[in-house]
């Protein structure tokens, strides 16, 4: 491709934009893979009650706008309390009386696998 000196700035901007799009997509796809890793690990680590509903209630969500390269993973299971419903994950993770913490620990243990998933995905998209 030949670019005249007059159009050099526009051509460079186009290339950078295209490169930025590629990097954005690869990162986004990598994060999607990392999200899957974390959701799966949390499912495995979740306490199983009578229904196993809690373990099945892990969901990932993509951030919006400037936070679009972020993933949020949470559990949708709510349980009734004295003052309305409370997320079961809050009880398990933080209650000194009824808790059985595993979320933070699972997240920390998942970091290497999540990093591998991101790198693997980016490499595969070369």
Q: Which residues bind another protein (CB under 8 A)?
A: 81-87, 90-91, 94-99, 101, 104
Q: Could you tell me the smallest distance in angstroms from the CB atom of residue 116 to another protein? A: 21
Nearest distance, CB of residue 5 and another protein, angstroms = 49
125 and 29 Cβ atoms separated by less than 8 Å: yes
How far apart are the C-alpha atoms of 46 and 18, rounded to whole Å?
A: 42
Residue 99 Cβ vs another protein, minimum distance, rounded to whole Å:
8
Nearer to another protein, 28 or 93 (CB): 93
| 9/95 with CB nearer another protein | 95
Query: Which residues neighbour 104 within 8 Å (Cβ) at sequence distance 6 or greater?
Result: 93
Backbone angles phi, psi at 111, to 5 degrees: -55, -50
81/79 Cα distance (integer angstroms): 7
Nearer to another protein by Cβ, of 52 and 101: the residue is 101
| Residue number, 45 or 91, with CB nearest to another protein | 91
Beta strands 71-75; 78-81: pairing state: unpaired
């Amino acid at each position: 491709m030949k670019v005249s000196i007059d159009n050099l700035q526009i051509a460079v901007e186009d290339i950078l934009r295209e490169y930025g799009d590629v990097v954005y997509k690869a990162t986004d796809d990598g994060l999607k893979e990392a999200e899957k890793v974390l959701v799966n690990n949390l499912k495995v680590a979740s306490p199983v009650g009578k229904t196993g509903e809690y373990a099945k209630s892990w969901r990932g969500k993509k951030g919006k706008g400037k936070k679009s390269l972020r993933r949020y993973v949470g559990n949708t299971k709510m349980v009734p309390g004295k003052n309305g419903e409370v997320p079961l994950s809050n009880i398990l993770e933080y209650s000194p009386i009824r808790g059985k913490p595993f979320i933070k620990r699972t997240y920390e243990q998942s970091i290497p696998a999540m990093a591998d998933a991101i790198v693997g995905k980016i490499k595969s998209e070369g």
